[in-house]
Amino acid sequence: MERIYVTHSGKLLETTSVHPTSETRSKPKPLSSKVAKLAALFLLAALPAAKAETVTDTLRGPDGAAVEGRVTVRWVSFLDEDSQIVPGGDIFVDTASGVFSFTLTPNADAVTPNTFYNVTYRVLGTTSAETWVVPDSAGTLTVSDVRSSVPAPTVVIGYGQLPVGGAATNDVLKFNGSAWGPDTDATGSSSGITCGTTPTPLTVASGVLTITSSACFSVNTESSGATDDVDTIVCTAGWRFELLPIHDGRTVILKQSASILMRKAFYLDNVGDRWLGFCQGTDLVSERGRSDNGG
């Protein structure tokens, strides 16, 4: 006969006697419900504790006095910032002297995108609603800390769920006047234009620079001189463009004028320099950005 001992932290929980037969050796006796429950508790204790924040505030009437009411918070299941599942649910609190308090899992940095707590107030016979986004905080939060100006969407679709829909690499979403769909990126990178490695060359002519499309251009001085001014830009309304010097040895000076709306002149004198323009009307350009990277 063999004896099986089940212990925890040096304490004997259970002892069982069995005969050393092939059946008992191949089929261990199931643990008792008591031991199984303890094992489950040990597993739960091993999980990291979910974060929680307290939101406390007071309901007040039009005169500023505290009023009684009911506050209800609802949410759908989401993964918190530690990728732990927060099951969906709802809770409500009937105020005491206008005061209410909730303990909620922070969702501002949740793994699941666009998560909201939907909050309903029933006060003085009326109902109102808003959404909360709860951040991590070192202290107690109030409603002003968690109230979101963005309404909770009724349906949330992750970008990974979007169909290709005929889109090609580097396409963007555009509206063609009747529907949304993929199209080439004419205004591309953070600069507003996708420059690539071979921008289109342009040359100043008598102080005039002629833009030919929404694109990126490397600008040369007239007759490859050391310096040249530009006080007129010829373009078509709606075009966006980016300018850079053709190389460091020639300086193109973009000057404020009736054709070029900008706060002050800009010197294209280093190959790292960039000037961004938007043609808001025929031959009328407004500055949209500049990056002076000269040494």
Which letter, b or e, does each residue of 203-231 get, where b requires 16 or more Cβ atoms within 10 Å of its Cβ?
bbeeeebebeebbbbbbbbbeeeeebbbb
pLDDT at 46 over 80: no
Mean of the pLDDT values across residues 12-33? 52
> What pLDDT is attached to residue 48?
55
Mean pLDDT of the chain: 81
pLDDT tens figures, 74-100? 999 999 988 899 999 999 999 999 999
| Neighbouring-strand partners of residue 89 | 75
Mean pLDDT across the stretch 285-293? 87
- Looking at residue 136, its pLDDT comes to 87
Tokens of 233: 């830009």
Strands 53-58 and 99-104: antiparallel
User: Which residues fall within 8 angstroms of residue 148, CB to CB, at 6 or more apart?
Assistant: 116, 130, 131, 132, 133
The pLDDT tens digits of the residues spanning 86-140 come to 999 999 999 999 999 999 999 988 888 778 999 999 998 899 999 999 998 888 9
Query: Which pLDDT score is estimated for 32?
Result: 61
The sheet with strand 126-132 has its strands ordered as 89-94, 69-75, 117-123, 126-132, 147-148
Mean pLDDT on 26-52: 59
Residue 167 in this model has a pLDDT that exceeds 60:
yes
Check residue 40 and give its pLDDT: 57
11-15, 57-61, 158-162, 231-235, range with the lowest pLDDT = 11-15
Position with higher pLDDT, 258 vs 195:
258
pTM of the complete model: 0.42
Percentages of the chain per state (helix, strand, coil), in multiples of 5: 10, 40, 50
> Please, what are the domains in the chain?
2-46 (no CATH), 53-148 (2.60.40.3390), 200-291 (2.60.120)
Nearest to 129 by CA among 138, 114, 117: 117
Helix (H, G, I), strand (E, B) or coil at 44: helix
Q: What is the mean pLDDT of residues 188-213?
A: 77
